[in-house]
Amino acid sequence: MTCEGTMLKVPEFWISNLDHIDRQAKTAGRAEVREIARSAGGRPLYAFAYGEKQIMKSTANYSSACGAFDRDCYVPLSGKKPVVLLLGAVHGAEVEGTAALVNLIHCLEEGKDLRGDENEALMKAAEAIRLVIVPVCNPDGRARLPYESVLGMTMKEMRYWFQGTWKDGTLCDYPRCKKVHPIKEASDHLGSYFNDDGVNIMHDNFFRPMARETQAILGLADEEKADFVIQLHGGGNCLNCLLPTHYVTKESLVAVHDLSVLCNERAKREGLAFTICDIPERENGETPPSFNLASALHHVCGAVSAVFESNQHAAGHPGAKLTHDEVYRSHLILFEELFGMASSRCRA
């Protein structure tokens, strides 16, 4: 499918391709860079870590520590250096977060982002934490998107590139694309949601993971004893939304809600906004909400875990339509408030 000409001009600072991240991984001087896995299609997943890793002895995994009624058996919170894990492109075409993470890495490595901004306050906030960045969690899906940005695509074009088509050529669409999993054998054009085996990492089987990508992401959160794990997704014309995660503690939900409020207060001063979601009731119903990657990441290490949905400026579709600059700025607000919250929580 070729796109119909509504796409926004991509500014020079907006880079989200795998080759660029490959080069960043090879040239990074400040980060400790690790290939945490190869995707189903053989592509590397890189983790860039900044800030000293605190060696903390666990006597139990997170589940067992909770079973012992003593979280400290996993990791004591007092005296713990805060660890933030940022995950980009779990869905390969949702590259808004990846573009922001590529710039964040440039800033951490070279003292300025690709717009030439030093982002002083953000860099100061980053110094107080251990920050681990995976710019692309699903490189197979990212490789299937032939564009640097999707802003300005129509919703139909997004559906084609994101969820793909069935064997009869009709769009798999959202959320119907989740009715077959893994989807590979049922699809004609495989969407960027999926790795090369057709697995949607967001909905892997977390008690028996199918994808190496999923295993590596969960392993990283556990090894790092992450305090906050934020996945950066795209959410059509939604307005900067931190989604409540299902099957997690109330404290974790409240933290994400508070983070939304902080981000929104900050964003309003710049003519932007964040959506503030209500804290949901307990899960119920014949088909309950899914236990997804955000839920699993909480349960592997106790982290406050959430999905951030960025605006994607879907043309001809109702809702907010942000520019590349505004989308990027929204991510920087999120990062700065997140790093600040992580620092204050661990000091408490």
User: Could you tell me if 240 and 263 are in contact, meaning their C-beta atoms sit under 8 angstroms apart?
Assistant: yes
Q: Does 106 bind Zn ion (CB under 5 A)?
A: no
CB–CB of 305/252 below 8 Å? yes
CA distance 131 to 117: 20
Task: Draw the binding track, 45-84, toward Zn ion (x: CB under 5 A; -: no contact).
Answer: ----------------------------------------
| Minimum distance, C-beta of residue 94 to Zn ion, in the bound complex (Å) | 5
Cβ at position 316, least distance to Zn ion in Å: 21
How far is residue 147's CA from residue 85's CA, in Å, rounded to a whole number? 26
The stretch among 41-49, 67-75, 127-135, 226-234 that binds Zn ion (CB under 5 A) is 226-234
**CB 192 → Zn ion: shortest distance, Å?**
10
Q: Is 331 in the site for Zn ion (CB under 5 A)?
A: no
> Does 91 participate in binding Zn ion (rule CB under 5 A)?
yes
Which residue stretch of 92-100, 111-119, 272-280, 314-322 sits at the interface with Zn ion (rule: CB under 5 A)? 92-100
Q: Does residue 233 belong to the site contacting Zn ion (CB under 5 A)?
A: yes
Rounded to an integer, what distance in angstroms lies between the CA atom of residue 65 and that of residue 86? 25
Count of alpha carbons within 13 Å of 107, Cβ hemisphere only? 24
The per-residue b/e assignment along 37-56, b for 16 or more CB within 10 angstroms, e otherwise, is bebbeebbbbbbbbbeeeee
> Coil, helix or strand for 218?
helix
Minimum distance between the CB of residue 175 and Zn ion, rounded to whole angstroms?
Answer: 11
- With respect to Zn ion, which residue has the nearer C-beta, 159 or 233? 233
Residue 232 or 267: which CB sits closer to Zn ion?
232
Q: How far is the CB of 89 from Zn ion (least distance, A)?
A: 9
**CB 290 to Zn ion: min, Å:** 13
**Three-state DSSP state, 270:** coil
Q: Which two tokens stand for residue 138?
A: 């699903």
Which is closer to Zn ion, CB of 225 or CB of 233?
233
Q: How far is CA 50 from the centre of its chain?
A: 17
Give the number of residues in contact with Zn ion, rule: CB under 5 A.
3
**Looking at beta carbons only, is 14 or 194 nearer to Zn ion?**
194
Sorted by sequence, the CB contacts under 8 Å of residue 197 that are 6+ apart come out as 40, 182, 184, 210, 211
Q: Indicate whether 142 belongs to the interface with Zn ion (CB under 5 A).
A: no
Please report, as ranges, the residues that interact with Zn ion according to CB under 5 A: 91, 94, 233
